[in-house]
Amino acid sequence: MSTYLECYKQAQVIGQKFHELLGNQGQQKNFFLEYPDLTNLDISSPILILGLNPSGEDQPSELDTKPNLFSYIPQNPDIKSTEVYYKELQQFCYSPYFKTFIECFQRLKPPYNPLWYNKDVLEQIYSANKEHLSKEQLNYLLGYSGLDERNYIIFADLVQYSKTNSKAITEHLSNDTVVDLLKGYIGLLFEYIKPKLVLSANAAVSHFLIDNFNQEIVDTNINIHGTNVFLGSMLTGQRAMDIYSRKRLFNEIQDFINSNP
């Protein structure tokens, strides 16, 4: 049974390898540590959404000193009108990218919510960052836990290296050392999180999984280490999946959940 620490160490090795491959083209940063340690949380069979790599500014900024887990806290659509702590909270928000994911998974039956709906996770976030947040902001964050139905989606990335231009990452996905490292990381990650299913939300990730776990045979879903992995592309942004393809994908996911309650 893999542990949080084992996943983290493998993520570090992957980040270092891409740092060597890209040289001055990228910014070395490990993101796995900024996901909550699930060990002490009452969480079972979450849905894992697997992206390619963390994006963002390639040059360090003042915000880089603050935990990037805050990037996964969604904006409250009503907070602008209240003007309460809006500027302080806005700097931690990255809702344009995650909004579509959240809406799609919340339409499932039962609905699946982001991990930040978990009260314990939100309290961990506040405890680690209380010098940046007020009690009122904590109450704002904890408001999400009121909608918690104990079914979670967890965001993770295949490559633990920050680079906005994804082409710089995909160019090295066939490197033999990288392939071995990523295959090991996927095994550790799946064993640690124990997901109900995995959604590959990036075309490059889907191709990597097909090439290395499905004998290059293209399917809409495959089995990796006993876990069903649904293959797709980005749900939002440039080159995103069209609405019909997205509906087909989530109908397939819903059918799987219905058959595996």
Query: In a structure prediction context, what are the per-residue pLDDT tens digits for the chain, which is 261 residues long?
Result: 788 889 888 988 998 898 888 876 555 555 554 556 777 777 889 999 999 987 654 444 444 433 333 344 444 444 343 444 444 444 444 456 677 888 889 999 999 988 777 878 777 766 766 666 667 766 766 776 776 778 998 888 898 787 778 888 999 999 999 999 999 999 999 999 999 999 999 999 999 999 999 888 877 888 999 999 999 887 766 667 788 888 899 999 999 999 998
Q: The pTM is what?
A: 0.82
d(CA 176, CA 101): 32
What is the pLDDT, as a whole number, of residue 108?
A: 94
User: Mind listing the pLDDT tens digit for each residue in 6-51?
Assistant: 988 898 899 889 888 887 655 555 555 455 677 777 788 999 999 9
The pLDDT of residue 90 is 46
Question: Cβ distance 52 to 166 under 8 Å?
Answer: yes
Model pLDDT, residue 240: 72
Cβ–Cβ < 8 Å for 59, 27: yes
In this prediction, residue 26 carries a pLDDT of 52
Taking the C-alpha atoms of residue 155 and residue 102, their distance in angstroms, rounded to an integer, is 11
Q: Provide the pLDDT for residue 58.
A: 45
Domain boundaries, the chain: 4-218+236-259
Separation between Cα atoms, residue 76 and residue 79, nearest integer Å: 5
> Is 17 within 8 Å of 26 (Cβ atoms)?
no
